[in-house]
Each structure stands twice: as structure tokens, then as C-alpha cells.
Amino acid sequence: MLPLGAAVVSVDFPLYRQGPYTPMALELREKERSLGMSAQAVSVQSLAYRDLKEKIPGIVVRNVTRAAVRVAAQEVARAQKDLADRQVALAEAYLGIAR
């Protein structure tokens, strides 16, 4: 929740909840003879974690900016509606129209 002026706005951010998965090494064998242990060549999950970590500052700025603009637009629309309501009330009073 983000307080913006008189409004409180919900802002969402992506998050990986679990730590990176680490696979278990496997022993490679041929006819009962050990050839060695397997090793992870590439971790796509680690690359995704790093990519998200690098993108978070931009995501935060973009989402907070969107929330602020949304609140500002709502305030402008509310102010314009209030002004229009007052103008209608004045016109009705001038013309003697009852609601």
C-alpha cells in the first residue's frame, strides 16, 4: 500500500519467494567404473533471478509513477465533477428549476 495524498493505492511488484534450485550432482558410471561427477552447466533460474534483480528499480519507478498519475487523474476528475455540479446548481437557481 502506498499513501499518495489523501489516497492509499495498492502497488504490486514481482517477487521470487523461493531460493534458486540447486540440483544434486550425479555420478557417471560405465560398467562399474566411475567416470566422474556431473555438474550444472547453466542455471536458467539463476539467470531469471539476476534479470529480475536488475529490473526491479525500473519496475518500482514505473509502478509508483502509474499509481501517482492514477490518483492525480482521479483528483482532477473529481474536481471537474464538483465544478460541473456547482455550475448546474447555479444554472438551476438562476432559471428557477427545482431538482
Residue 48: its H or E element: helix 44-95
CA–CA gap between residue 56 and residue 63 (Å, rounded):
10
Backbone angles phi, psi at 35, to 5 degrees: -100, -10
pLDDT for 98 equals 58
45 within 8 A of 20, measured Cβ to Cβ: yes
CA–CA gap between residue 53 and residue 57 (Å, rounded):
8
Cell 540440483 belongs to which residue?
23
Give me the mean pLDDT over the 58-74 stretch. 88
What does pTM read for this prediction? 0.59
